[in-house]
């Protein structure tokens, strides 16, 4: 009997603790985090959470903070670098203490933004000044400002492609495959590298939704039972291209042991012909080329090989969005930092990325795109919340590597199926999930 009583006691304790654990904190005020009126008197200590541990280590972040202090002398900025940014921030967001400024983690549902972040202003005003502002718009208010954006396409080794006799950008998926074949037969290099093992480079393919039809609304159109992989659609074209590359043996021989860091210098040395990554990778590849003693100018960037009347298109998508913690005690100071970092710090130019500020010019890394009149499609993200809900309910994961890893596996014969059967399966999952969510 004694045993039973102890057990009951233990369970009661657990039950109480569980219940108290759930009663959440009261609703914090939803006042707009506006920039301070007077820069010289604004004060406070703010903590900025960032995924760029490398910039903290190299002291670059501190240098930015020193520049910032020239304008706002009384605001102290502290940085906290998180290696596993998504994972750690997600858990910390169960408390009130997740820094003053943070990048919005992908795990937060868009409709929950008002519960976690202070609004930064009305979305109409924000969209006049900034790109990508509709990505964090909820009910007419914007909750985040992008650090920068990226254009999307393939990074490739120009010298290698030239050696294979290809000088012009391919205009259709068929041409692209033919070019890769030429690279394989004439140079013996690996024409395309999937980075299968690391997974996230496969996710980059999703960033091209919109490049195929040149439509800003491409992503929003996925919100509903629309069979996203039906023939001719964005995803079908993109994923078929990947499928065909792998099926024709134009990718690396053993995808299960790929290595991202090593792939950079391999591309620079011409052992790899091309990779699908965002334009942010161009400067990294050029660095790698310099380190390997090769010419950094050999690193080129080309759009998705689909020619339309408008020409070739490349999507612009937002990187992490900076937001202000709704529980922050120094919302003004936090906003001051975000504005300064986005507008004045020169961060995006240094990273060779597409600036968030609409008035700022495109970076040097995208010179080829500008010269060749590639149309930049600034993809609307107004329905991303709904699209993500369907994606998660369907457990497909447009922004996770799993489904494309399976696609690659099917293409190289490691798993059963064909592109058609797999696309049909994905369509079915998507449509069913869309219907259950819509109901």
Partner 1 sequence: MTETTEAVSVKTHRATPSRRGPSPTGDSPRVPGSRGRTLRRATPWLFLAAPLALLITFTYVPVGNMIYYSFTDWDGISPDRNFTGLDNYVQIFTRPELFRVFFVSVYYLAASAVQIVIALYFATVLSFDLRFRNLFKGLLFFPYLINGVAIGFVFLYFFQDGGTLDTVLSWFGQNPGHAWLGDPGSANTSLAGVSVWRYTGLNFVLFLGAIQSIPGELYEAAQLDGATRWQQFRHIIAPSIRPVLSLSVILAISGSLAVFEIPWIMTGGATGTSTFVIQTVKLAFQFNKTGLASAAAVVLLLIILLITWIQRRLVPDEKVDLV
Residues numbered 24 to 53 that lie near partner 1 (CB under 8 A) are 24
**Cα separation of 196 and 163, whole Å?**
26
Stretch that binds partner 1, among 210-218, 289-297, 309-317, 399-407 (CB under 8 A): 399-407
Residue 397 binds partner 1, judged by CB under 8 A: yes
Residue 7 CB: number of other CB atoms within 10 A? Answer: 10
**Cα separation of 390 and 292, whole Å?**
44
Residue 2 binds partner 1, judged by CB under 8 A: no
Let me know: does 366 contact 279? Beta carbons within 8 Å: yes
Residue 204 binds partner 1, judged by CB under 8 A: no
Sheet holding 137-138, edge to edge: 121-122, 141-142, 137-138
What's the min distance (Å) between Cβ of 343 and partner 1? 30
Residues numbered 365 to 394 that lie near partner 1 (CB under 8 A) are 392
Binding mask 317-336 for partner 1 (x = CB under 8 A): --------------------
Among 36, 270, 273, 401, binds partner 1 (CB under 8 A): 401
Which residue, 129 or 406, has its beta carbon nearer to partner 1? 406
Among 174, 329, 364, 395, binds partner 1 (CB under 8 A): 395
Among 201, 224, 255, 385, binds partner 1 (CB under 8 A): 255
Beta strand 75-81 pairing with 44-50: parallel
Let me know: does 338 contact 101? Beta carbons within 8 Å: yes
130: β partners: 357
What's the min distance (Å) between Cβ of 346 and partner 1? 33
Let me know: does 51 contact 351? Beta carbons within 8 Å: no
Helix (H) or strand (E) holding 384: helix 384-394
75: β partners: 44
Which residue, 319 or 391, has its beta carbon nearer to partner 1? 391
What's the min distance (Å) between Cβ of 203 and partner 1? 11
What's the min distance (Å) between Cβ of 71 and partner 1? 34
Residue 167 binds partner 1, judged by CB under 8 A: no
Residues numbered 235 to 254 that lie near partner 1 (CB under 8 A) are 253-254
Among 53, 56, 115, 260, binds partner 1 (CB under 8 A): 115
Let me know: does 147 contact 348? Beta carbons within 8 Å: yes
Let me know: does 381 contact 134? Beta carbons within 8 Å: yes
**Cα separation of 332 and 267, whole Å?**
45
Among 161, 196, 243, 337, binds partner 1 (CB under 8 A): 196
Helix (H) or strand (E) holding 155: strand 149-157
Residue 95 binds partner 1, judged by CB under 8 A: no
Let me know: does 390 contact 220? Beta carbons within 8 Å: no
Residue 409 binds partner 1, judged by CB under 8 A: yes
**Cα separation of 347 and 61, whole Å?**
10
Among 13, 172, 185, 372, binds partner 1 (CB under 8 A): 13
Stretch that binds partner 1, among 216-224, 265-273, 360-368, 409-417 (CB under 8 A): 409-417
Encoding tokens for residue 378?
A: 């600034």
Encoding tokens for residue 247?
A: 């099926």
**Cα separation of 285 and 279, whole Å?**
10
Which residue, 97 or 344, has its beta carbon nearer to partner 1? 97
Q: Is the dihedral of CA 117, 119, 123, 129 positive or negative?
A: negative
Residue 144 binds partner 1, judged by CB under 8 A: no
Let me know: does 311 contact 393? Beta carbons within 8 Å: no
Rg (alpha carbons) of the chain, rounded to whole number: 24
Residue 58 binds partner 1, judged by CB under 8 A: no
What's the min distance (Å) between Cβ of 321 and partner 1? 16
| 412 Cβ contact partners less than 8 Å away, ≥ 6 residues apart | 246, 247, 251, 255
**Count of residues binding partner 1 (CB under 8 A)?**
41
Residue 202 CB: number of other CB atoms within 10 A? Answer: 23
Stretch that binds partner 1, among 14-22, 146-154, 225-233, 313-321 (CB under 8 A): 14-22
What's the min distance (Å) between Cβ of 438 and partner 1? 17
Among 1, 22, 29, 83, binds partner 1 (CB under 8 A): 22
What's the min distance (Å) between Cβ of 181 and partner 1? 21
Residue-wise DSSP of 165-194: T--SPP-SHHHHHHHHHHHHHHH-SEEE--
Stretch that binds partner 1, among 10-18, 53-61, 165-173, 305-313 (CB under 8 A): 10-18
Among 35, 55, 75, 108, binds partner 1 (CB under 8 A): 108
Residues that bind partner 1 in the complex, under the rule CB under 8 A: 10-11, 13-15, 17-18, 21-22, 24, 87, 90, 93-94, 105, 107-109, 112, 115, 196-197, 199, 253-257, 392, 395, 397, 400-402, 405-406, 409, 412-415
């Amino acid at each position: 009997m004694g045993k039973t009583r102890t057990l009951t006691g233990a369970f009661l304790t657990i039950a109480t603790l569980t219940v108290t654990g759930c009663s959440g904190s009261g609703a914090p005020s939803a006042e707009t985090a506006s920039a301070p009126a007077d820069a010289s008197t604004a004060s406070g200590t703010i903590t900025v959470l960032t995924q760029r541990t490398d910039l903290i280590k190299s002291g670059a972040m501190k240098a930015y903070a020193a520049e910032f202090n020239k304008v706002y002398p009384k605001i102290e900025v502290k940085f906290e670098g998180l290696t596993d940014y998504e994972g750690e921030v997600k858990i910390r967001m169960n408390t009130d203490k997740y820094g003053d400024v943070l990048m919005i983690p992908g795990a937060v549902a868009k409709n929950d933004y008002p519960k976690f972040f202070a609004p930064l202003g009305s979305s109409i005003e924000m969209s006049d000044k900034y790109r990508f502002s509709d990505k964090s718009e909820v009910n007419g208010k914007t909750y985040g400002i992008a650090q920068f954006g990226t254009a999307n396409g393939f990074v490739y080794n120009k010298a290698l492609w030239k050696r294979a006799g290809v000088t012009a950008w391919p205009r259709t998926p068929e041409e692209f495959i033919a070019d890769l074949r030429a690279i394989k037969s004439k140079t013996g290099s690996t024409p395309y590298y999937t980075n299968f093992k690391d997974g996230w480079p496969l996710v980059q393919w999703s960033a091209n939704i919109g490049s195929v039809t040149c439509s800003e609304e491409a992503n929003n159109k996925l919100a509903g039972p629309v069979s996203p992989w039906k023939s001719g659609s964005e995803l079908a074209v993109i994923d078929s291209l990947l499928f065909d590359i792998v099926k024709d043996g134009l990718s690396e021989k053993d995808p299960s042991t790929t290595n991202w860091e090593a792939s950079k210098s391999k591309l620079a040395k011409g052992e790899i012909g091309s990779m699908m990554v965002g334009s942010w990778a161009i400067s990294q590849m050029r660095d790698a080329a310099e380190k390997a003693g090769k010419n950094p100018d050999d690193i080129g960037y080309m759009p998705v090989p689909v020619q339309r009347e408008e020409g070739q298109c490349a999507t612009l998508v937002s990187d992490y969005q900076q937001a202000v913690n709704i529980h922050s005690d120094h919302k003004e100071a936090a906003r001051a930092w975000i504005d300064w970092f986005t507008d004045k710090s020169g961060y995006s130019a240094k990273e060779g990325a597409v600036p968030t500020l609409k008035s700022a010019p495109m970076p040097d890394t995208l010179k080829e795109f500008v010269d060749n009149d590639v149309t930049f499609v600034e993809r609307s993200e107004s329905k991303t919340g709904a699209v993500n809900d369907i994606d998660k309910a369907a457990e497909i994961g447009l922004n996770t590597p799993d489904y494309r890893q399976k696609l690659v596996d099917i293409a190289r014969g490691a798993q059963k199926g064909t592109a058609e059967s797999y696309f049909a399966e994905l369509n079915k999952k998507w449509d069913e999930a869309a219907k259950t969510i819509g109901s």
